[in-house]
Amino acid sequence: MVSPLIEIEHLVKQFGAVTAVNDVSLSIRQGESLGLVGESGSGKTTLARMVIRLIEPTSGKINYPGVSDIRRECQIVFQDPQTSLNPRIKVGEAIGEPLLIHALLPKSAIPLRVKELLDMVKLPAEYAGRYPHELSGGERQRIGIARALASRPKFLILDEPVSALDVSIQVDVLRLLRSLRDELKLTYLFIAHDLSVIGFICDRVAVMKQGELLELADKAELFAAPKMPYTRKLLASTLAF
């Protein structure tokens, strides 16, 4: 049995009268890629934001047995790089920012690390001097990934990282994420609203609906024999990549 990196116990988040996450318990294993799937509004992002402590749960608990510094070791890549990157800040500065915030490197060492990070996401070093609008959607998402990797995290939440991209670009970014995971031995919580993307990258899959965790199983098991009617419905509308 692989030891858990993060354990979520009876997590609840209410926004006024809306219960966005309703009594979710699950654990994220060291080194796995856990898929989190569910229709829009099912509470996926809210769960993710609680896991990296961007928001506090209403009730329930999150334990981090495999993490010592949550802010540094747990990072998130958002769906829309257009809105997650400041349009007035050059790409190199955006990637280097977490290094400054966490004081991980002396200022003079940051440009070299930025170059290394750009190389990791397969972009040329001169992109450091560009602004986000000078990049394509896929390139901007690579910048989001480089920025998330800057602080050498062990855990990445990918919140619909390819949903805003053209289908032809999606596969490239997914391949990159898969090879980065293997190379850097990362643990992923990979959020998507459809199962084809999850099938490409994940080991286990959790299904959410209306704030609740409906089903959690190994990918092969879930794809072959889903227990819940809702999961069957999701599978029926899934395209194979």
Ligand X SMILES: Nc1ncnc2c1ncn2[C@@H]1O[C@H](COP(=O)(O)OP(=O)(O)O)[C@@H](O)[C@H]1O
Number of residues that bind ligand X (CB under 6 A): 11
CB of residue 50 to Mg ion, shortest distance in Å: 13
Q: Is residue 42 a contact point for ligand X (CB under 6 A)?
A: yes
Q: Which residue is nearest to Mg ion (CB)?
A: 45
CB of residue 45 to Mg ion, shortest distance in Å: 3
Choosing among ligand X, Mg ion, none, which partner's interface includes residue 43 (Cβ < 5 to 8 Å by kind)? ligand X
Choosing among Mg ion, ligand X, none, which partner's interface includes residue 46 (Cβ < 5 to 8 Å by kind)? ligand X
Q: With 0-12 CB in 10 A as exposed, 13-18 as middle and 19+ as buried, what is 182? A: exposed
Contacts with 141 (C-beta within 8 Å, 6 or more apart), sequence order: 77, 81, 161, 162, 164, 165, 173
Would the CA dihedral through 223, 227, 228, 229 be positive or negative? positive
Choosing among Mg ion, ligand X, none, which partner's interface includes residue 170 (Cβ < 5 to 8 Å by kind)? none
Q: Is residue 43 a contact point for ligand X (CB under 6 A)?
A: yes
As a whole number of angstroms, the distance between CA 155 and CA 52 comes to 10
CB of residue 129 to Mg ion, shortest distance in Å: 32
Measured in whole angstroms, how far is the alpha carbon of residue 176 from the centre of its chain?
A: 13
Q: Is residue 18 a contact point for ligand X (CB under 6 A)?
A: yes
As a whole number of angstroms, the distance between CA 117 and CA 100 comes to 15
Q: Is residue 45 a contact point for Mg ion (CB under 5 A)?
A: yes
Sheet bearing 4-15, strands edge to edge: 18-29, 4-15, 59-63
As a whole number of angstroms, the distance between CA 165 and CA 35 comes to 19
**Site pattern 45..74 for ligand X (x: CB under 6 A):** xx----------------------------
Number of residues that bind Mg ion (CB under 5 A): 2
Interface residues with Mg ion (CB under 5 A) are: 44-45
Footprint on this chain of ligand X (rule: CB under 6 A): 15, 18, 20, 38, 40-46
